[in-house]
Amino acid sequence: MKGMRPVGLVFLLAVVVYGLNFLFAEGFNGGADSFTHYQISRYSWNYPDLLLDQWGKPIFTILFSPLAQLGFQAVILGNMALIFIGAWLAFLIAKKLELKRPHWIPFMVLFTPIVAGNAISGLTEMICALFLIGFILLALNQKFIWGSILLSFMPFARSEGFVIIAVVVLFYVLTKRMKYMPYLLVGSVVFNFIGWAITGKPLWIFQSNPYMGSSYDDSYGSGPIYHFVMYGVPVFGIGFLLWLWQTLREFPAVFNLFKSHQWSLQKQVWIFLILGTSWAYFLAHTVLWWQGIMASLGLVRVMFVIAVPVALLALKSWENLRWSEMRWANAAFLVLVAVAPFTMRLFPLQEIQILPALGVEEQVNVKALAILEQQPQLSQAKVYIGHPYMNIILERDPYNRSVSESMTSFNEKGELVYNYKSAKTGDLVIWDGHYGPNELHLPADSLEVNSNFQFIQAVKADFPFITLGGKEYEIRIYKRI
């Protein structure tokens, strides 16, 4: 087929690059979130309640639970497959939009720093992005019912899906397609009904949402309103600048939104579903981090979800420039795209890394493991942990409370419960400087002043590493006496 050879070469190159990344990466992307999503999926067959855990994201947990039984590496490969599927669908969208170089889109997507630099992970951004990409493609083919049903499940891959749905509601209203709006409720109705039936909570979507009234907002902090703009080029590469330029070019259309029902379908998709969704998503995260709400940490990896819309607008912008007709300029552009993920290795931005090393906090956990293994009867002792990676390397079931439990937790009333106070003689408390004083609300001195616990040893990184909360990361091991 015409045009298939160039796109085939793009995917072949990407398979080689991603394959080498998978084979030689010493660590993984996404930090604790990656293996926590993996653990939720892996143990969901033993603890069915986990299938509906809203932090874990039901769509991810359900679909990845079979792969998770094969191990963390299988989950990583599954996510990499989703990245390639998304890139292929983006190619089909580019063809449908009649871009001159549609085969450039998968190249730009697969080599976007935030995409390539998070490929070795168990994160939910990959599957979430597919819902948006799939909806855009279905909309271009005027399959609005199926597209709406598909998109209705997006919030259960990542909560930001509600932001995208809000844009689509506006799209349907202004383009006089309101008859499709009820289909956007399908996912919420299905999951809320299941959640209600299992938990007894009639408004399960809201009552079980861990981000509403989050207790983490104070410890997670906030940041400047320009945070994501500042990281735009490291996240999206040169495509970010072209995205901004194309936004300026398309902006006059905003003044004619009430006449958008007269536009061609192609223009409607460009303005509402590509430009609109990307900016709505970008600005939503900007406000959440700026205001320090909904447990936002200002993590740039969330921008993975809009990598395809940004790439589409970036290519449209490039094709409208005079330089796009010059061979040397096109070559330079493609080189800048290709090298972007690799240049990120030169900067200390842990959220975007090809060939990721094992994270500093995880390295400290490994050092702590060597000390724990010196403890007699370790296999019989219950552990109370802070950092979830400890369960991975101890090979403990994190949901079996007879062998492992979080140092603290919240009960149904939202009250903090100090689980470690129930420790029996010989049990171990493994406090860490990230989760202890922040998510678990347990400062180190809480254990220091408790005469029931014997301090064994503290473990730090090989160099001072500042963690969440602005303090040096360490692990402190205590034994119940």
When comparing pLDDT for 255 and 324, which is higher? 255
CB 404 within 8 A of CB 457: no
- pLDDT for the residue numbered 295: 80
Is the pLDDT at 221 greater than 80, yes or no?
no
Nearest to 392 by CA among 39, 45, 1: 39
- pLDDT for the residue numbered 296: 84
- pLDDT for the residue numbered 210: 83
Per-residue pLDDT averaged across 353-364, rounded?
A: 93
Q: How far apart are the C-alpha atoms of 127 and 112, rounded to whole Å?
A: 17
Tokens of 343: 């240049």
Rounded to a whole number, what is the largest CA-CA distance in the chain?
76
CB 359 within 8 A of CB 468: no
Q: What is the pLDDT of residues 293-302, one digit of tens each?
A: 888 888 999 9
Residue 130 binned pLDDT confidence (cut-offs 50, 70, 90): very high
Is the pLDDT at 440 greater than 70, yes or no?
yes
Per-residue pLDDT averaged across 70-89, rounded?
A: 98
Residue 216 binned pLDDT confidence (cut-offs 50, 70, 90): low
Per-residue pLDDT averaged across 236-252, rounded?
A: 97
Q: How far apart are the C-alpha atoms of 29 and 25, rounded to whole Å?
A: 10
- Residue entry with tokens 């040169």: 238
CB 227 within 8 A of CB 289: yes
Is the pLDDT at 2 greater than 70, yes or no?
no
Q: How far apart are the C-alpha atoms of 191 and 180, rounded to whole Å?
A: 20
Domain residue extents for the chain: 4-346, 360-480
Tokens of 449: 């002043």
State the first-to-last Cα distance of the chain, in angstroms, to the nearest integer.
Answer: 73
- pLDDT for the residue numbered 217: 52
Residue 255 binned pLDDT confidence (cut-offs 50, 70, 90): very high
Q: How far apart are the C-alpha atoms of 366 and 417, rounded to whole Å?
A: 28
Per-residue pLDDT averaged across 403-429, rounded?
A: 93
Tokens of 185: 């409720």
Q: What is the mean pLDDT of the chain?
A: 93
Residue 213 binned pLDDT confidence (cut-offs 50, 70, 90): low
Angle between helix axes 144-152 and 161-174 (nearest 10 degrees) is 150
Partnered with residue 430 across adjacent β-strands are 385, 477
CB 433 within 8 A of CB 445: no
Per-residue pLDDT averaged across 356-375, rounded?
A: 94
Per-residue pLDDT averaged across 111-124, rounded?
A: 97
Q: What is the pLDDT of residues 47-63, one digit of tens each?
A: 999 999 999 999 999 99
Phi and psi for 406 in degrees, rounded to 5?
-65, 145
Is the pLDDT at 3 greater than 80, yes or no?
no
Is the pLDDT at 348 greater than 70, yes or no?
no
Per-residue pLDDT averaged across 454-476, rounded?
A: 93
Distances in whole angstroms, Cα of residue 312 to Cα of each of 12, 76, 136, 175, 260: 21, 26, 11, 22, 21
What is the number of H-type helices and E-type strands within the chain?
22, 7
Per-residue pLDDT averaged across 395-409, rounded?
A: 95
Residues 6 or more apart in contact with residue 458 via CB below 8 angstroms: 474, 475, 476, 477
Q: How far apart are the C-alpha atoms of 365 and 474, rounded to whole Å?
A: 9
Residue 274 has what DSSP assignment? I
Per-residue pLDDT averaged across 79-96, rounded?
A: 98
